[in-house]
A and B are shown apart, each in its own frame.
Chain A
Amino acid sequence: MSAPNRARDEVAIVGYAQSPVVRHADRSLGALTLDTARAAIADAGLTPDQVDGFVTASLFPTSGEHAVVDGVSVVSADWLAARLNPNPRYAANFSGLGQIPGSMAMAVNAVASGAAEHVLVHRALHNPAGSYHGTRAAEFRGGLQWTAPQGFFGPLAMIGLTYNEYVQRYGASREALAEVVVEARKNGARLPWSHWSGRPLTAEQYLAEPMLADPIGRFDCDIPVDGAAAFVLTTAERARDLPHRPVHVSGYASGAPPRRRLPAHWPLDDIMAAGTEMADRLWAAAGMGLDEIDLLQVYDGFSPLVFLWLEALGRCPVGEGHHYVRDGGIDSDRPGADPVLLSGGSLGNGRMHGVPQLLECYLQVSGRAGERQRDGVTTALSCHSSPHLGGALVYSAHPQPATHHDPRT
């Protein structure tokens, strides 16, 4: 059994900003992100000179031919720091998948250790002109030599193979995925910043859409966008003097695949084996279990991931996620249901990766969700990416009573 994480509830989110999420912004990603970061810092009641830590994950998740240019297609922590508070005490870029839990963990550790006092975590995502994943490459080196010449390339085939394994094994229907996508789009339609604002989707529209990589259709995939979001973290102690109710980070965990696979090959059993282990680490880190979580926000960049997260976290037995969502099981408008896509998710916002889930947890626990505010949300959990490569975070309004005495105090 691992020792409790000494950072548990020691670090809190104290402010945020979310840019409009659009197909193609009329300005550069760097400008959009800088304005968003300034807004988040102001929201936290701080000034840029007080922000001495910067963390992001700058992955540009394209399979295509697009150049990676800092300030244009990505925004690194260093790029942003140089324009807000040069030479910060801490600046770091998380490089794995599960960018939100990964970068938030680095920020929590930086604050808890004293490496920085106020850390800005941002995520900036870009939709380049032209095909997002298309390439004219005539040759492939490295890992992709084993897959692309054979025609296995890009995330659609990846999730198509994973999800068909699920469908064949558990008998999931298209109507079950329709329930997921319609719920995400319904909640996303209510968000003023969302690409899909005011544009819900019906099950009939979903079911009429042709397949792209059976059993995956267009609406099962989040749409590429330009957008940025930023969050400010500081110690729980300093957070008490800032304007908004702090949201403490109680714990985090990330997955690790059970074995090396071909690039973009996600066998279902790999996902569930590593995902359930990740969940066990999460409960140990957070000092609480799923039954103590008031609001669960699962990741949905591809709609089938909703089933896999529900199962990996133990919300329902393995293989039953597709039953769990049926008949209004996750309907945010139905009393007593489990509104796991209240955030709108990536399907209802646009490809903001795990930002919507983090944002919804922050807004609900801090009491800042406005018309969407739900009663009694004091703990929350957000997920990102897949259960075997991504991760999750647990948040609390109230720090848990100390379970150990810190000899330094």
Chain B
Amino acid sequence: MTSSPPPSSGRPLPVPDALSAPYWAAAARHVLTLSRCSDCGTLTHPPDVVCDACGSTDPRFTAVPVDGRGVVRSWTVVRQSFLPGFADLLPFVLVDVELTEQPDVRLVGRLLDGPDAPLKTGSPVRVAFEDLAEGVAVPAFVLAESA
């Protein structure tokens, strides 16, 4: 399931930089990527100037597509947003997701199933994308069937 509000959503947009541009380019195509260090091969998110795993100061991160499956570690129901563009979406659920591909990477995003979705610790989810503006999409999650 992919939610596609009309451009523009009124929500704030990410501004890509040298490290994040490949991630956002893939997200625009609805592909979730993690950053792989060219020295040690460890995946991380978000990329940083130094690799957390091997300490490389020249990690030359590449954006590697991942399947976007994971499990819910926690969630909250947001009933008051401090950002523009979210008022009509309240209340909404944020999920804290441990990715199957690399469990020490945790992502936080909206759960698009709505505030009454049956959630528990360990609920399987998969990534979905919200189109915010022309050429800009951000990751979110939807409940998935158990593997």
CB proximity of A256 to chain B, nearest CB, Å: 13
The answer to whether B121 touches A150, judged by C-beta atoms less than 8 angstroms apart, is no
Contact B13 A139 (CB under 8 A): yes
A260 to B50, CA, bound (A): 11
Task: Name A201-237 residues within 8 Å CB distance of B.
Answer: 210-216
Tell me which residues from 134 to 156 in chain A have a Cβ below 8 Å from any Cβ of chain B: 134-143, 145-154, 156
C-alpha gap A160/B74 in the complex (Å): 9
Interface residues of B, count at CB 8 A? 43
Of the candidates A131, A149, A165, A211, the one whose C-beta lies within 8 Å of that of B79 is A211
A213 and B14 contacting across the interface, CB-CB below 8 Å: no
- Say yes or no: B104 contacts A214, CB within 8 Å: no
Q: Is the CB of B17 within 8 A of A141?
A: yes
Q: Is the CB of A150 within 8 A of B140?
A: yes
Q: Contacts A138-B12, A150-B139 known; A210 to B79 CB distance under 8 Å?
A: yes
Residues of A near B78 (CB, < 8 A) are 151, 156-157, 160, 213
Chain B positions within 8 Å of A151 at CB level: 11, 78, 81, 83, 86, 89, 92, 94, 109-110
Flag if B82 contacts A153 (CB, 8 Å).
Answer: yes
Q: A89 contacts the other chain (Cβ, under 8 Å)?
A: no
Give A151 to B82 CA distance when docked, in angstroms.
9
Contact with B along A235-260 (1 / 0, CB 8 A): 00000000000000000000000011
Q: Tell me the nearest residue of chain A to B122, going by C-beta.
A: A168
Looking at the complex, which of A109-117, A261-269, A323-331 is the stretch in contact with chain B? Answer: A261-269
What is the interface size of chain A, counting residues whose CB is below 8 A from a CB of the partner?
47
Whether B138 is near chain A, meaning CB under 8 Å from some CB there, is: yes
In angstroms, how far is the closest chain B Cβ from the Cβ of A370?
A: 39
Judged by a CB distance under 8 angstroms, whether B84 is at the interface is yes
With a CB–CB cut-off of 8 A, which chain B residues contact A153?
A: 81-83
Instruction: Determine the residue in chain B with the shortest Cβ distance to A269.
Output: B73
**Structural contact, A64 and B82, CB atoms closer than 8 A:** yes
Partner of A162, one of B16, B52, B74, B138: B74
Chain A residues proximal to chain B, CB less than 8 Å: 63-64, 131, 133-143, 145-154, 156-157, 160-162, 164-165, 168-169, 210-216, 259-262, 265, 267-268
